[in-house]
Amino acid sequence: MNEKTIESAPNTTFRNTLALVSMTLLIGMAGAAISSMLHLSRMNSALIAVIVVGLLFAISHFKGNALGILFVVALTFFIGFSFGPMITHLLYYRSHGEGFLIVSFGGTAISLLLLAGYMFIKKKSGDLRSCSVFLASLVGGSALIGTTVFNARTSDLMTGIALILPLALLMMYLAIRATQDEEKDLLIATVDTYAPFDLMSIVKSK
């Protein structure tokens, strides 16, 4: 992939894809919230792995097809729904894993939505550098406000930054990669964001 492909994306396609990716992350947050309300016990880790890998292969198979959005929604919801109890178990029940997922998915979704709004106002292309600076400033600024205005604990804010910023930067980068074609369908661009690699081809080549 050349330098131009990595560094920028058309404005309209990129910002609309960011908005739809945000919606899929909110679905994941809803899955985590439902899991928390139902107080579900931890699922079998092997079963979780099989389902997640299966959904990833389904998304890869439908790369370039709008039907893949169904598997994207299923993936984000399932991760939110099933990973919370597993994270809680890994943390020896000292913290609720669902809370980590709600913060991570919800914070990332809001960050990407605000980035999409910024792109709309500025009428700029999806530039990797400026988008990264915007996201870092947004998350860091939110943490600063949380400290000075709401007297939030530093440890909680650092945890929030660690959960939100890497995921937001990753999804932003994948969205730029997926939206090089300004005429690409929005649903297809979103599916391609979740399928940066053709897993089917990789397996067949083995």
Nearest by Cα to 31 from 72, 87, 94, 84: 84
Can you give the residue ranges of every domain in the chain? Answer: 10-198
Neighbours of 194 (CB within 10 A): 23
On the 0-12 / 13-18 / 19+ scale of CB atoms within 10 A, 126 is: buried
Neighbours of 173 (CB within 10 A): 17
How far apart are the C-alpha atoms of 184 and 15, rounded to whole Å?
13
At 197, phi and psi to the nearest 5?
-125, 145
Contact 79, 100 (CB under 8 A): no
What's the pLDDT score for residue 161? 82
Spell out the per-residue pLDDT of the chain, length 206, in tens: 444 445 566 778 888 999 999 999 999 999 988 988 887 777 888 999 999 999 999 998 888 888 899 999 999 999 989 888 877 766 655 556 677 788 889 889 999 999 999 888 877 777 888 889 999 998 888 877 777 766 666 666 777 788 888 999 999 999 988 888 777 888 898 999 998 766 655 555 55
DSSP 43: P
DSSP 179: T
What's the pLDDT score for residue 4? 43
This model's pTM is above 0.85: no
Nearest by Cα to 168 from 82, 79, 121, 107: 107
How far apart are the C-alpha atoms of 161 and 152, rounded to whole Å?
13
Residue 18, C-beta contacts closer than 8 angstroms, at least 6 positions apart: 112, 113, 115, 116, 119, 171, 172, 175
Please give the structure tokens belonging to residue 81.
């729904």
